[in-house]
């Protein structure tokens, strides 16, 4: 065990903290030379080597992933996307579609399992989260099959029916179904971190998107192993469906869930840290707008432009969720005492037990819970019931 | 402010539940499991092969033509609604009960088809125009396809020859015509949905370009029938220049206006099941040798006014005695069969063949062969010889060959349900009225219908009741045990009802044989021997291809037909419903120009198809050669692959750029497009049916009236009327409606004889008067 270092007054939170590279209370970089900081400035709370504004998919939708596992997940995502592309290039579109539907949900399940996110009742919580998403996705998938025109008439966009249902109402219903997944967990004190809300929301969203896609497209699965079709549009579409859309849904729903958690579970003084973006009255319409916007892009744009605009849309949602996580992890920093040293799962060093690792700056809440003993939780005084 | 230097990292302390390579392997394994499960599901639920219109089923004839659900067959296209382009001036007619305008502009329209009873079926038709100077047809077509790419994921040319578009045209105009089949997947924000099939074609009249695209997500099994609905609209299209009416060349020779399509002939392979059970009893026919040269000479003399045998028709017994084998030879054959343990069932009086039966074991021994069972792709099981049967030496001098050992389905019904002519409108359109009003309604006349199925007596009775017909009930004549009422009964009812529409008081005899077990020759032999009818109607056929028709079967049929001609029987046979591509009915990917057997025989009157347009009062206006390009439909026509063109087939248009010395078909035509088909009662339901199998009984029934008129004026027999028809077509005015527009997906209709409509359709009263006058000379 490392010897406890001398103390220093953090210039940001103004607490006396151990003189380590990072403030254990607020994660501030305490070294004079800013150029030594991995990201050149204050790092993302869940991955201090990255800027909070860096659009990293893995560290954002899997914030509790140990740094050592990031590459594995990144490689897996790339491998899955490559598999989808190869399948599409060989005109195995139905298989590619299945790959698109399961790729991100599978990673989320592996993530939840890998980091033992909910150590007390992992199976129940995970099952509820994922199953709600799957069930709602199947339900909405059947609804879309019923109300969204499946006839050849759709090909020429002959009516407002398509715009209203496929472009607006179904996306709104989908959004409502996705956000409804984590809401029942909001009153539980056990899950009162913003990170909890964001994780529940993201997990529910990706399960929903995958299940809805498979249900809605089940007719297509009956069109044979290698149906007729141009490969390039299919590659682009499968990447949209397999990566961009799930990421967008995970981020938008995760951000809204985070906003709800921030509003109703965080200490009163932290509720406005994200400004209007953290307020449900702004966050809910904004997320719904992102989801509807994505639907309209898919409805009216083609191939490259469609993919490009979807990526932009997804990036906006990603940055929003990232900020939500970052600020969520910074909350409640000053409310607890510095505890006994623990081993940081990210850098492997002994760090005083508080909010951030003293040596890598990672939020200790964003560490696998099995590896890191539960820390005392802050009583969210003033928190309102969900 | 300076923080202390961090201590070195302890790699082992970095928490990792699973090592990276294991994690990636775990992920890959999980993903692979999903793919394997998905693959299994996809293979289980994958669609079957595209069913051709005549795919055989069970032990029935080779399937049914494209059929819409009953509710969709209710109304013929009469007095449709007009849609007109305000900017370009083209217009077409549509049935507002089925079609709704979904979107429209000054140069084009999008229409959706639906019927309430089948919400699962859909069809969209897009017709778009542009000035030719701005957009030629090919460019307009590409523009339309490109515009659909946003919503049809992966839209591209459908490479399957089964879905190819043959003979593209728009509203019968094929100038600079181009088109093709496309496929893709409907895409929505929620994900890819149903597969969508598109057929698109464009053409110009020299002033504007038009592109028409029909699209459906409905199952393959009903796609062709749905596409017929789009054809129904497109075939009413009127170009601003009136080009559809002038589509045929002004020259007297048909011109090759379309590029010959790619030749392909991939065919499904039947699966060997095993040896046929030795104890199974089967029937067969021995095709007896004939004095062919003498018979051919006699048939020519029958048509030669200078010959003493001119119109001197023979009885079945006389035919047998003059041209068949001797009594002693017949006896020898019978003894040989009996010695082998085989039973002689019928020795036809005209000595064209002997019908016999026995167990597979004894038949195999007699013909030194073995029989095996095979399963067609549709699942139907049939038997056929595993090696060529050998005729025993003792009877080889008398017997040419054996037929019936293969029960591979041979005859196809040819009917396409849709539009509708009632007995009254038929009378009006083809001018039967003067004959009917003169009491010429078929009284005392007998007509033979050849059927490889049967009918319920209640159906013709219901038809009679519906239209107030009081003719004699239809008789069943069972050949080789007859046939149960099966899927082909619609065809039988069509033949009966059309004849009753035209000649309501004639006696119809339905010759019913089991499909696959007897051939056309066996059926005709029975008609010739019975000697009751000298007009016969055959609305069955199959592609004339060596793989489909053995030499012996062809010989058996031809011999029987020759005997029928010598007997003075006029046999009307449907020329087929797949246009110039008869074999496409069995194999959608078969794009060879092929004819329909036995409609291409020189010893029959081959009946092609038209689309009839009538005025508001039902009177005749115009006909087009029947071609439904999107639905693969059209009146059969082309060249017989083997038989030479008979001497009597001559006249304007007969000798043309396609002529090769072989028999050309059809000889005549009548309404056959499903949009102007005939009303029929089948299975207790009244609905209209098209196809050349409707045109054929119409011609046979009309000939019954002509025969009755002739008899009334002292002419004993019409005989084989094909030569007379060609002579009458040269008269001015002609008793034929010369069809000069439309085509059959390859050949255009044109002035004089053509491969689409032959001599044309009849003004029946005019034809009757002209023929009687001709015969009285």
Residue A86, φ and ψ in degrees, nearest 5: -65, -45
Task: Please determine, for residue B249, whether its predicted confidence score (pLDDT) is greater than 50.
Answer: no
Q: Verify whether the Cβ–Cβ distance B46 to A231 is below 8 Å.
A: no
Task: Please determine, for residue A220, whether its predicted confidence score (pLDDT) is greater than 60.
Answer: yes
Which of B120, B144, B154, B199 would best serve as a mutation to test chain A binding (most A beta carbons within 10 A)?
B154
Nearest to A102 by CA among A87, A118, A119: A87
Task: Please determine, for residue B55, whether its predicted confidence score (pLDDT) is greater than 70.
Answer: no
In three-state secondary structure terms, B700 is helix
Higher pLDDT pick, A13 / B205: B205
Least reliable range by pLDDT among B44-53, B349-358, B740-749: B44-53
Q: Verify whether the Cβ–Cβ distance B153 to A219 is below 8 Å.
A: no
Query: Which residue of chain A has the CA closest to B22?
Result: A72
Task: Please determine, for residue B7, whether its predicted confidence score (pLDDT) is greater than 60.
Answer: no
Task: Please determine, for residue B661, whether its predicted confidence score (pLDDT) is greater than 90.
Answer: yes
pLDDT score for B62: 36
Q: Verify whether the Cβ–Cβ distance A68 to B3 is below 8 Å.
A: no
In tens, the pLDDT along B315-370 reads 999 999 999 999 999 999 999 999 999 999 999 999 999 999 999 999 999 999 99
Q: Give the C-alpha distances (Å, rounded to integers) separating B301 from B309, B316, B566.
A: 6, 18, 10
Query: Which residue of chain A has the CA closest to B120?
Result: A151
Residues on chain B touching A294 (C-beta within 8 angstroms):
189
Tell me whether residue B217 is exposed, middle or buried, using C-beta atoms within 10 angstroms of its C-beta: 0 to 12, 13 to 18, 19 or more.
Answer: buried
DSSP secondary structure letter of residue B132: T
- The answer to whether residues B603 and B564 touch, using CB atoms and an 8 Å cutoff, is yes
Residues on chain A touching B152 (C-beta within 8 angstroms):
155
Rounded average pLDDT over B369-376: 86
pLDDT score for B56: 39
End-to-end alpha carbon distance in chain B: 131
Give the span between the Cα atoms of B418 and B215, in whole angstroms.
20
A146: Cβ contacts below 8 Å, ≥ 6 apart: none
- E strand segments, B550-637: 570-574, 596-597, 605-614, 620-625, 627-628, 633-634
Residues on chain A touching B127 (C-beta within 8 angstroms):
none
3-state secondary structure chain A: CCCCCCEEECCCCCCEEECCCECCCCCCECCCCHHHCCCCCCCECCECCCCCCCCCHHHHHCCCCCHHHHHHHHHHHHHHHHHHHHHHHCCCHHHHHHHHHHHHHHHHHHHHHHCCCCCCCHHHHHHHHHHHHHHHHHHHHHHHHHHCCCCHHHHHCCCHHHHHHHHHHHHHHHHHHHHHCCHHHCCCHHHCCHHHHHHHHHHHHHHHHHHHHHHHCHHHHCCCCCCCCCHHHHHHHHHHHHHHHHHHHHHHHHHHHHHHHHHHCCCHHHCCCCHHHHCHHHHHHHHHHHHHHHHHHHHHCCHHHHHHHHHHHHHHHHHHHHHHHHHHHHCCCCCCCCEEEEECCCCCCEEEECCECCCCCCEHHHCCCCCCCCCCCCCCCCCCCC
Least reliable range by pLDDT among A224-233, A339-348, B94-103, B747-756: A339-348
Rounded average pLDDT over B287-293: 90
Give the span between the Cα atoms of B513 and B482, in whole angstroms.
4
**Mean confidence (pLDDT) of chain B:** 85
Q: Verify whether the Cβ–Cβ distance B20 to A94 is below 8 Å.
A: no
Q: Verify whether the Cβ–Cβ distance B124 to A75 is below 8 Å.
A: no
Q: Verify whether the Cβ–Cβ distance A216 to B188 is below 8 Å.
A: yes
Residues on chain A touching B160 (C-beta within 8 angstroms):
228
Nearest to B99 by CA among B85, B86, B84, B110: B110
CB half-sphere exposure, A76, CA atoms < 13 A: 31
* The two three-digit tokens of residue B224, written as one number: 């062709």
Residue B271, φ and ψ in degrees, nearest 5: -100, 130
Query: Which residue of chain A has the CA closest to B219?
Result: A223
DSSP secondary structure letter of residue B95: -
A89: confidence class by pLDDT, cuts 50, 70, 90: very high
pLDDT score for B71: 36
Residues on chain B touching A117 (C-beta within 8 angstroms):
none
Task: Please determine, for residue B144, whether its predicted confidence score (pLDDT) is greater than 90.
Answer: yes
Least reliable range by pLDDT among A105-114, A281-290, B241-250, B622-631: B241-250
- The answer to whether residues A215 and A135 touch, using CB atoms and an 8 Å cutoff, is no
* The two three-digit tokens of residue B418, written as one number: 């849709």
Q: Verify whether the Cβ–Cβ distance B27 to A296 is below 8 Å.
A: no
Query: Which of B3, B4, B45 is opposite residue A221, by nearest beta carbon?
Result: B45
Which of A81, A136, A156 would best serve as a mutation to test chain B binding (most B beta carbons within 10 A)?
A156
Residue B439, φ and ψ in degrees, nearest 5: 85, 10
Q: Verify whether the Cβ–Cβ distance A159 to B102 is below 8 Å.
A: yes
3-state secondary structure A257-294: HHHHHHHHCCCHHHCCCCHHHHCHHHHHHHHHHHHHHH
- The answer to whether residues B495 and B462 touch, using CB atoms and an 8 Å cutoff, is no
Sort strands A350-353 and B81-84 into parallel, antiparallel or unpaired.
unpaired
- The answer to whether residues A156 and B102 touch, using CB atoms and an 8 Å cutoff, is yes
Q: Verify whether the Cβ–Cβ distance B191 to A241 is below 8 Å.
A: yes
Task: Please determine, for residue B65, whether its predicted confidence score (pLDDT) is greater than 50.
Answer: no
pLDDT score for A81: 95
Residue B19 is inside which H or E element, if any?
none
Task: Please determine, for residue A373, whether its predicted confidence score (pLDDT) is greater than 70.
Answer: no
Higher pLDDT pick, B408 / A375: B408
Q: Verify whether the Cβ–Cβ distance B188 to A99 is below 8 Å.
A: no
Task: Provide the ipTM.
Answer: 0.82
- Nearest-CA distance from B206 to chain A in Å? 28
Task: Please determine, for residue B142, whether its predicted confidence score (pLDDT) is greater than 90.
Answer: yes
- Nearest-CA distance from A326 to chain B in Å? 22
Q: Verify whether the Cβ–Cβ distance A107 to B194 is below 8 Å.
A: no
In tens, the pLDDT along B396-436 reads 999 999 988 887 765 555 444 445 788 998 999 999 999 99
Nearest to B113 by CA among B14, B191, B225, B5: B225
Residues on chain A touching B196 (C-beta within 8 angstroms):
152, 155
With pLDDT > 70 as the criterion, what percentage of chain B qualifies?
A: 88
Least reliable range by pLDDT among A22-36, A42-56, B260-274, B490-504: B260-274
- Nearest-CA distance from A260 to chain B in Å? 27
* Contacts across the A-B interface (CB distance below 8 Å): 275
**Mean confidence (pLDDT) of chain A:** 82
Rounded average pLDDT over B554-563: 92
In three-state secondary structure terms, B181 is strand
Which of A89, A152, A358 would best serve as a mutation to test chain B binding (most B beta carbons within 10 A)?
A152
B752: confidence class by pLDDT, cuts 50, 70, 90: very high
Query: Which of B2, B38, B153 is opposite residue A229, by nearest beta carbon?
Result: B153
Nearest to A184 by CA among A105, A129, A135: A129
Q: Verify whether the Cβ–Cβ distance B17 to A346 is below 8 Å.
A: no
CA A169 to chain centroid, in Å, comes to 24
Sort strands B662-665 and B638-644 into parallel, antiparallel or unpaired.
antiparallel
Q: Verify whether the Cβ–Cβ distance A76 to B23 is below 8 Å.
A: yes
Q: Verify whether the Cβ–Cβ distance B42 to A224 is below 8 Å.
A: yes
pLDDT score for B314: 92
Highest mean pLDDT among A7-11, A159-163, B127-131: B127-131
pLDDT score for A17: 83
Q: Verify whether the Cβ–Cβ distance A95 to B124 is below 8 Å.
A: no
- The tokens 């399963």 sit on which residue? B375
Residues on chain A touching B42 (C-beta within 8 angstroms):
94-95, 221-222, 224-225
B254: confidence class by pLDDT, cuts 50, 70, 90: very low
Task: Please determine, for residue A183, whether its predicted confidence score (pLDDT) is greater than 80.
Answer: yes
CA dihedral A269, A273, A275, A276 (to 10 degrees): -70
Q: Which residues pair with B385 in a beta bridge?
A: B371
Judged by a CB distance cut-off of 8 A, whether residue B187 touches chain A is yes
With pLDDT > 90 as the criterion, what percentage of chain A qualifies?
A: 36
Query: Which of B14, B112, B156 is opposite residue A153, by nearest beta carbon?
Result: B112
Nearest to A295 by CA among B151, B152, B189: B189
Residues on chain B touching A302 (C-beta within 8 angstroms):
149-150
Task: Please determine, for residue B469, whether its predicted confidence score (pLDDT) is greater than 60.
Answer: yes
Rounded average pLDDT over A25-46: 70
Least reliable range by pLDDT among B10-19, B456-465, B574-583: B10-19
DSSP secondary structure letter of residue B388: -
pLDDT score for B272: 83
**∠ Cα A310 A314 A317 (to 5°):** 145
Residues on chain A touching B102 (C-beta within 8 angstroms):
153, 156, 158-159
Q: Verify whether the Cβ–Cβ distance A72 to B20 is below 8 Å.
A: yes
* The two three-digit tokens of residue B103, written as one number: 């979107």
Q: Which residues 116-155 of chain B have a CB within 8 Å of chain A? A: 122-124, 126, 147-155
In tens, the pLDDT along A98-118 reads 999 999 999 998 888 877 665
Residues on chain A touching B155 (C-beta within 8 angstroms):
229-230, 233
Q: Which residues pair with B542 in a beta bridge?
A: B597
Sort strands B507-512 and B446-451 into parallel, antiparallel or unpaired.
parallel
Rounded average pLDDT over A71-82: 92
A127: Cβ contacts below 8 Å, ≥ 6 apart: none
Q: Give the C-alpha distances (Å, rounded to integers) separating B724 from B432, B489, B759.
A: 20, 33, 12
Query: Which of B24, B159, B189 is opposite residue A228, by nearest beta carbon?
Result: B159
Rounded average pLDDT over B236-245: 78
Query: Which of A19, A94, A97 is opposite residue B3, by nearest beta carbon?
Result: A19
Residues on chain B touching A241 (C-beta within 8 angstroms):
191
Helix B692-712 to helix B764-776 angle (10° resolution) is 50
Task: Please determine, for residue A384, whether its predicted confidence score (pLDDT) is greater than 80.
Answer: no
* The two three-digit tokens of residue B378, written as one number: 């549709």
- Nearest-CA distance from A384 to chain B in Å? 36
Higher pLDDT pick, B776 / B493: B493
Q: Is the peptide bond before B666 cis (omega within 30 degrees of 0)?
A: yes
* The two three-digit tokens of residue B403, written as one number: 């037929």
Q: Which residues pair with A37 in a beta bridge?
A: none
**∠ Cα B472 B474 B477 (to 5°):** 135
* The two three-digit tokens of residue A61, written as one number: 């939708």
Residue B371 is inside which H or E element, if any?
strand B371-375
Judged by a CB distance cut-off of 8 A, whether residue B180 touches chain A is no
pLDDT score for B69: 41
- Nearest-CA distance from A386 to chain B in Å? 31
B98: confidence class by pLDDT, cuts 50, 70, 90: confident
Task: Please determine, for residue B63, whether its predicted confidence score (pLDDT) is greater than 70.
Answer: no
Q: Verify whether the Cβ–Cβ distance B46 to A156 is below 8 Å.
A: no
Give the span between the Cα atoms of B73 and B418, in whole angstroms.
6
């Amino acid at each position: 065990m490392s010897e406890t270092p001398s103390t220093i007054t953090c210039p940001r939170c103004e607490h006396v903290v151990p003189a380590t590279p990072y403030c254990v209370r607020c994660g501030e970089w305490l070294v004079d030379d800013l150029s030594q900081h991995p990201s050149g400035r204050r790092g993302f709370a869940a991955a201090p080597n990255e800027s909070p504004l860096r659009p990293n998919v893995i560290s954002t939708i899997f914030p509790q992933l140990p740094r050592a596992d990031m590459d594995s997940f990144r490689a897996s995502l790339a491998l899955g996307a490559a598999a989808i592309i190869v399948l599409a290039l060989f005109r195995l579109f139905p298989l590619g579609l299945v790959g698109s539907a399961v790729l991100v949900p599978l990673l989320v399940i592996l993530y939840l399992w890998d980091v033992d996110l909910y150590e007390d009742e992992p199976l129940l919580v995970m099952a509820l989260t994922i199953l709600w998403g799957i069930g709602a996705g199947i339900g909405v998938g059947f609804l879309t099959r019923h109300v969204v025109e499946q006839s050849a008439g759709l090909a020429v966009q002959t009516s407002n029916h398509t715009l209203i249902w496929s472009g607006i109402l179904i996306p709104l219903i989908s959004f409502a179904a996705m956000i409804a997944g984590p809401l029942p967990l909001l009153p539980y004190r056990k899950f009162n971190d913003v990170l909890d809300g964001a994780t529940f929301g993201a997990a529910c969203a990706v399960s929903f998107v995958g299940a809805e896609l498979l249900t809605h497209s089940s007719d297509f699965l009956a069109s044979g192993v290698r149906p007729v079709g141009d490969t390039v549009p299919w590659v682009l579409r499968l990447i949209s469906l397999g990566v961009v859309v799930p990421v967008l849904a995970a981020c938008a729903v995760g951000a809204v869930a985070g906003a709800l958690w921030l509003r109703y579970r965080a200490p009163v003084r932290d509720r406005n840290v994200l400004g209007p973006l953290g307020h449900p009255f702004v966050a809910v319409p904004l997320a719904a707008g992102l989801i509807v916007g994505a639907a309209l892009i898919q409805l009216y744009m083609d191939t490259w432009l469609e993919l490009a605009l979807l990526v932009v849309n997804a990036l906006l949602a990603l940055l929003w969720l990232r900020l939500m996580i970052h600020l969520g992890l910074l909350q409640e920093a000053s409310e607890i005492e510095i505890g006994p040293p623990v081993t940081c799962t990210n850098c492997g060093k002994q760090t005083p037990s508080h909010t951030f690792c003293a040596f890598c700056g990672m939020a200790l809440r964003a560490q696998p819970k099995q590896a890191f003993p539960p820390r005392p939780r802050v009583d969210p005084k003033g928190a309102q019931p969900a | 402010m300076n923080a202390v230097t961090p201590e070195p990292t302890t790699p082992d302390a970095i928490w990792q539940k699973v090592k990276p390579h294991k994690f990636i392997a775990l992920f890959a394994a999980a993903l692979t499991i999903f793919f394997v499960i998905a693959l299994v599901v996809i293979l289980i639920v994958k669609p079957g092969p595209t069913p051709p219109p005549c795919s055989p089923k069970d032990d029935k004839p080779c399937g049914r033509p494209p059929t819409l659900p009953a509710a969709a067959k209710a109304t013929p296209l009469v007095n449709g609604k007009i849609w007109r382009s305000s900017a370009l001036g083209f217009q077409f007619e549509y049935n507002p009960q089925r079609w709704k305008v979904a979107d429209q502009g000054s140069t084009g329209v999008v229409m959706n088809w639906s019927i309430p009873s089948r919400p699962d079926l859909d069809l969209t038709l897009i017709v778009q125009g542009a000035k030719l100077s701005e957009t030629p047809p090919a460019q307009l077509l590409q523009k339309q396809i490109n515009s659909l790419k946003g919503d049809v994921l992966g839209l591209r040319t459908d490479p399957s020859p089964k879905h190819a578009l043959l003979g593209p045209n728009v509203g019968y105009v094929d100038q600079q015509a181009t088109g093709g089949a496309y496929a893709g997947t409907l895409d929505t924000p929620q994900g890819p949905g149903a597969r969508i099939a598109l057929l698109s074609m464009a053409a110009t009249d020299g002033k504007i370009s038009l592109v028409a695209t029909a699209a459906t997500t409905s199952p393959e099994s009903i796609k062709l029938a749905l596409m017929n609905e789009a054809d129904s609209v497109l075939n009413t299209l009127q170009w601003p220049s009136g080009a559809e009416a002038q589509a045929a060349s002004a020259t007297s020779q048909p011109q090759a206006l379309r590029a010959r399509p790619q030749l392909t002939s991939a065919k499904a392979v039947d699966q060997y099941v095993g040896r046929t059970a030795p104890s199974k009893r089967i029937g067969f026919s021995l095709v007896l040798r004939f004095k062919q040269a003498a018979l051919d000479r006699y048939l020519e003399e029958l048509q030669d006014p200078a010959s003493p045998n001119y119109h001197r028709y023979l009885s079945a017994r006389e035919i047998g005695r003059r041209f068949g084998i001797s009594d002693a030879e017949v006896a020898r054959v019978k003894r040989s069969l009996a010695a082998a343990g085989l039973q002689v069932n019928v020795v036809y009086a005209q000595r064209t063949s002997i019908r016999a039966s026995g167990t597979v074991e004894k038949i195999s021994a007699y013909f030194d062969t073995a029989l095996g069972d095979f399963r067609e792709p549709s699942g139907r099981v049939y038997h056929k010889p595993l090696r060529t049967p050998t005729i025993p030496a003792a009877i080889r001098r008398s017997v040419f060959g054996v037929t019936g050992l293969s029960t591979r389905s041979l005859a196809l019904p040819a009917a396409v349900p849709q539009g509708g002519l009632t007995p009254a409108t038929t009378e009006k359109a083809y001018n039967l009225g003067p004959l009917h009003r003169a009491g010429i309604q078929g009284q005392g006349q007998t007509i033979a219908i050849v059927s490889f199925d049967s009918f319920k007596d209640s159906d013709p009775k219901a038809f009679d009741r519906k239209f107030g017909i009081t003719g004699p009930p239809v008789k069943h004549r069972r050949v080789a045990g007859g046939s149960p009422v099966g899927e082909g009964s619609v065809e039988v009812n069509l033949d009966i009802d059309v004849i009753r529409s035209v000649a309501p008081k004639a006696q119809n005899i339905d010759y019913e044989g089991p499909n696959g077990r007897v051939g056309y020759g066996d059926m005709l032999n029975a008609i010739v021997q019975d000697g009751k009818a000298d007009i016969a109607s055959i609305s069955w056929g199959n592609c004339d291809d060596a793989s489909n028709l053995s030499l012996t079967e062809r010989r058996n049929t031809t011999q029987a037909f020759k005997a029928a001609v010598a007997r003075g029987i006029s046999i009307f046979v449907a020329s087929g419903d797949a246009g110039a591509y008869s074999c496409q009915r069995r194999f959608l990917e078969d794009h060879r120009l092929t004819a329909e057997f036995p409609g291409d025989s020189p010893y029959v009157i081959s009946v092609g198809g038209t689309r009839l347009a009538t005025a508001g009062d039902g009177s005749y206006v115009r006909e087009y050669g029947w071609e439904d390009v999107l639905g693969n439909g059209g009146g059969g026509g082309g060249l017989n692959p083997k038989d030479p063109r008979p001497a009597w087939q001559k006249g304007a248009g007969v000798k043309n750029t396609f002529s090769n010395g072989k028999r050309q078909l059809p000889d005549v035509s009548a309404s056959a497009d499903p949009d102007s088909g005939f009303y029929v009662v089948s299975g207790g339901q009244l609905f209209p049916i098209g196809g050349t199998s409707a045109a054929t009984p119409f011609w046979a029934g009309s000939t019954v009236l002509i025969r009755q008129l002739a008899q009334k004026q002292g002419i004993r027999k019409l005989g084989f009327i094909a030569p007379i028809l060609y002579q009458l077509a040269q008269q001015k005015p002609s008793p034929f409606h010369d069809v000069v527009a439309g085509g059959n997906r390859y050949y255009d209709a044109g002035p004089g004889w053509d491969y689409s409509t032959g001599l044309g359709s009849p003004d029946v009263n005019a034809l009757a008067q002209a023929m009687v006058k001709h015969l009285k000379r």
